[in-house]
Chain A
């Protein structure tokens, strides 16, 4: 029993860190542009599909190029479709991401078909690791390590670099940022590209875990919303805590009450938001309330 719980907790952590990765991108885009990006799930899916296509010709390079490709798609979309809507009715931005989500998801179906594609991890990552009573696949452990590394890198980027500071400052007062000589348009584009590329990375990593199907965008976007809201909009730490919380809750309920495995995270979100209006670590953020 205990072994089972521990194994599921580890699986939950893997899942949780993936959720965090998707949620962070969603969160920085939201903070900067003030738009809830409904299309975030399709960028995640695109990451997996790009890797699927590229790996036949490029091998391991596909892993790096796929997220970059997603970022470029994100940048093009921001420049052509999102930019005209800045400063207009905020609802339009939301509806636009919705339209983009519908379009790209169907595009994926058109290009790669509705059926799932298997995506096997490389040979050196297949198999299990047995560690006392705990049994984990090597690939899950790999995902765990990689996501943690990426999150640390992202955190260092946001906290320690000039660009990170611009992103954090811009989430509170974009006008003031521009009065300090920083080109806001370019920052918006870069943030959008970064957020979508990170979603793309998550997609690549998730490909061997969940098979590559069009519906994987839905499977990503809803948990990401939940994680961002529970953690508190704009909070990096909050997203990490809530991502792990959601991941572990989902993994445990898969084991013990499979029927409720997805419902549990929505129940969690409703409960936490009713008690803590701004989520676990959310700060008062007047722009969005």
Chain B
């Protein structure tokens, strides 16, 4: 019974019934029956358009160009070649498809806004041609004299059109549920991730573009024989808005959205135009109202009425049932690989951005079925290294060979095909797909039907079973029906791993899989990774040093683009060079260390107070229950390993992130709900992570932009950093790392401030520059309070008054920095290797 109900509500059937009865309904409300035919044609037009917008995420203004061009092609074919409706329609459709292929090949390489504007230019070009090339197109008068020699009666033609349109709708229904169509929806959410699953995304988009132009072309050809003439009007850019408007009215992310849109658009237009000639006035208002109040159009309203919230209905909601006995991934079953064979060999890999060296002659060998970790302080070049390995980023010199093959020049998706897989540092899943679908699309990359247009993707048993197995392995079976965006952070991390595993990789590249996780999740994922390394070779980037040391077979340490150590965990843990890189032990000793009186000042009034603050992004709280205090004139260090939430704390203080719990007071006043500009005007300045210098402004402009009455005068900033004066006319983008840092500090001083937040001021700087920046910060301490985030511990402890240490979003330690300086045990426990 249920299946019958489902069958009766099948979108194709629903559309069929509605379009069939329209010629009888419309005259009753005073419209002509021929409007019904037009609605059917526009329904197909809208669906073809939405294949790009709603499914692939491409904003094209080219739809009307294909619609119009096909109309002309069909009309001209009728007049000059065939004198046969059917052949002419087929001709028009094919012409549009070919045109789509040519234009697609030309412009799909351009991204984002440039792609959209190019489609608009093509539309206008076509319009001009159609309008001006009078000999062929009839210009302003259009193409006349097209006579329907069969299907003469309007009703007969209507049912012919309905039949053809329904075939088109059915074809699109199949396509969006096919492996091919499912990949399109993944591309819409995250193109780079799809590329990293081994799909050639450019080709997928090209096929989508051609398919879209084919369906639109079919609709355009049908229109020719409905009005029995062709006008250039349909090519005009204002008509490029027609499918856009239908889709907004109906609902972008609903399969039949544009069909309902077409119905409303044309009927309403017809009714309104009989009342007033200024019906666009009403229409414009309706459109604006929909965008503001119901961005998913009437389908969105319908969904809300049915209590489904803002759920999308681009495809069927159901996912295939899991088979009776879902097994876990068998860790022993993988094909045997001779131990000790190198899986990955990197030789002399180098890469620089301008003057910044991010990889300098890196050599690295990863042996089969081992867990090899890459560690190193922030900015060491680890993620860059992964990006080069996967082909997302080009490099300057060196070779990469994988399983004995040179892959140095291979395209990213081909590398994945040959057995590489990666997870991403920033969780990178498909936010509008279900958890099951996300893993399934990844598993599909290995199926022979991975680009099939006609099969039902959910009826590929191997792929579905694989997806269930992976979900069971990472423990997400219960969450399979959930949208990825609704997962907690830890679950998304697990999903990342499942996705990376789905392509059966020989080598798994995991980029900080533990970042931002609590202890329980760390334990769980750490164990999983260890187990996986029996089945795959794993190359792991991770900052959780304790776990890296206990899990890894071997470790390579990066520092500022160099390999500074390599070997077994026990050796690395005691390597002096590594200790130095992490803690700066034997690094730059400051000259002023004794002069500054680093004594806690409990007598001073509190300036900034955080109590029980929690904050985070989307669903997951990165910060939990943070207490922190900075008093007048104090220098406070906020320490902790990478990814524990230090930057998030600063951003929450600044008002960039609203705290979910707790209070933030500054100078006796609550600032928890203030926007960033007002927080700054209260007297908190920030030197942010990555410096965030405006690249298109000169040094002087960067400074004067921030200048306010009561801030430091320019001369004093120049006295602090004489280099800035020498470079004052250079653009921000041409500065070196050290100069950027000085500028960022200088910029923070330009407005009056009582507290400066410094986020990793020494990151990526050469030792001599570190000393220079440090000396400047020394001078600041007498004029303002400082909250300093840093991971070079000894550098900071020498002159901070008090220190806090964060571990995984919580405060783990607070005390006088002197005490901490001498407490090597605590340092090592929370911060060291």
Q: Which residues of A contact B (CB under 8 A)?
A: 36, 81, 84-85, 88-89, 91-92, 94-96, 98-100, 102-107, 109-110, 162, 165-166, 168-169, 171-173, 175-184, 218, 222, 225-226, 229, 233, 259-260, 262-263, 266-267, 269-270, 273-274, 277-278, 283, 288-289
Contacts and interface: CB of A to CB of B under 8 A. Distances in A.
B237 A81 contact: no
B125 A99 contact: no
B680 A179 contact: yes
B287 A99 contact: yes
A285 to B, nearest CB: 9
A173 B59 contact: no
A166 B111 CA distance: 27
Contact of A94 (B59, B111, B121, B284): B59
A171 B245 CA distance: 29
A179 B705 contact: no
Given A100-B288, A266-B121, A277-B110, A169 B705 contact: yes
A222 B112 contact: no
Contacts of A179: 654, 656, 676-677, 679-680, 686, 688
A266 B128 contact: yes
A172 B695 contact: yes
Interface residues of B, number: 63
A106 B244 contact: no
A166 B705 contact: yes
| CB-CB nearest 5 A-B residue pairs | A103-B284, A181-B680, A263-B128, A106-B280, A99-B287
Question: Looking at chain B's contact residues, is the secondary structure mostly helix, strand, loop, or mixed?
Answer: helix
Contacts of A267: 125
B509 to A, nearest CB: 24
Contacts of B122: 266, 270
A95 B121 CA distance: 18
Contacts of A95: 244, 248, 287, 291
A162 B705 contact: yes
A208 B705 CA distance: 41
24 contacts: A36-B113, A88-B295, A95-B244, A95-B248, A98-B244, A98-B287, A103-B281, A103-B285, A103-B287, A106-B278, A110-B281, A165-B704, A168-B694, A171-B696, A172-B695, A179-B679, A179-B680, A180-B705, A181-B706, A229-B121, A262-B128, A263-B129, A270-B122, A289-B111
A226 B118 CA distance: 9
Given A102-B283, A172-B694, A96 B291 contact: yes
B192 to A, nearest CB: 12
Contacts of A100: 284, 288
A218 B121 contact: no
B728 interface: no
A184 B679 CA distance: 13
Contact of A176 (B114, B238, B688, B704): B688
B675 interface: yes
Given A169-B705, A262-B128, A218 B677 contact: no
A36 B113 CA distance: 8
Contacts of B680: 178-181
A180 B751 contact: yes
Nearest to B751: A181
Contact of B696 (A162, A168, A180, A182): A168
Contacts of B696: 168-169, 171-172, 283
A105 B704 contact: no
A262 B232 CA distance: 15
Contacts of B280: 102-103, 105-106
A269 B121 contact: yes
Given A36-B113, A109-B278, A273-B114, A263 B288 contact: no
Contacts, number: 168
A61 B111 CA distance: 45
Interface string B239-255: 00100110010001000
Interface string B107-128: 1011111101110111011001
B241 A180 contact: no
B497 to A, nearest CB: 28
B106 interface: yes
Contacts of A277: 109-110, 114
A99 B114 contact: no
Contact of A288 (B112, B291, B292): B112
Interface string B747-765: 1000100000000000000
B114 A84 contact: no
B705 A226 contact: no
B278 A165 contact: no
Interface-central residue, B113, B116, B654, by most chain A CB under 10 Å: B113
B124 A181 contact: no
B132 interface: yes
Which has the most chain B C-beta neighbours within 10 Å: A98, A175, A274? A98
Nearest to A31: B696
B288 A99 contact: yes
Contacts of B248: 95
Contacts of A266: 121-122, 124-125, 128
B482 interface: no
Interface of B: 59, 106-107, 109-114, 116-118, 120-122, 124-125, 128-129, 132-133, 237-238, 241, 244-245, 248, 252, 278, 280-281, 283-285, 287-288, 291-292, 295, 654, 656, 675-681, 686, 688, 692, 694-697, 701-702, 704-706, 708, 747, 751
B704 A162 contact: yes
Contact of A173 (B284, B681, B694): B694
Given A181-B681, A181-B751, A273 B692 contact: no
A178 B244 CA distance: 34
A180 B124 CA distance: 43
Given A99-B288, A169-B702, A184-B677, 5 more contacts: A36-B117, A98-B241, A102-B284, A181-B706, A273-B114
Contacts of B133: 259
B655 to A, nearest CB: 8
A169 B696 CA distance: 7
Contacts of B252: 91
Contact of B692 (A173, A274, A278, A288): A173
A103 B701 contact: no
A104 B114 CA distance: 26
B692 A102 contact: no
Contacts of A269: 117-118, 121
B747 A180 contact: yes
Contacts of A96: 288, 291-292
B295 A178 contact: no
A229 B705 contact: no
Given A175-B676, A180-B747, A184-B677, A270 B278 contact: no
Given A100-B288, A169-B705, A274-B106, A110 B118 contact: no
Contacts of A172: 694-696
Contacts of B292: 81, 84-85, 96
A199 to B, nearest CB: 18
Given A162-B704, A169-B697, A36 B116 contact: yes
Nearest to B111: A289
A171 B120 CA distance: 24
A67 to B, nearest CB: 23
A218 B678 CA distance: 41
A263 B125 CA distance: 5
A172 B244 CA distance: 29
Given A169-B694, A181-B681, A270-B122, A102 B704 contact: no
A37 to B, nearest CB: 12
B689 to A, nearest CB: 11
Contacts of A88: 295
Given A92-B295, A95-B291, A107 B281 contact: yes
A110 B697 contact: no
Contacts of B751: 180-181
Contacts of B281: 103, 106-107, 110
Contacts of A91: 59, 252
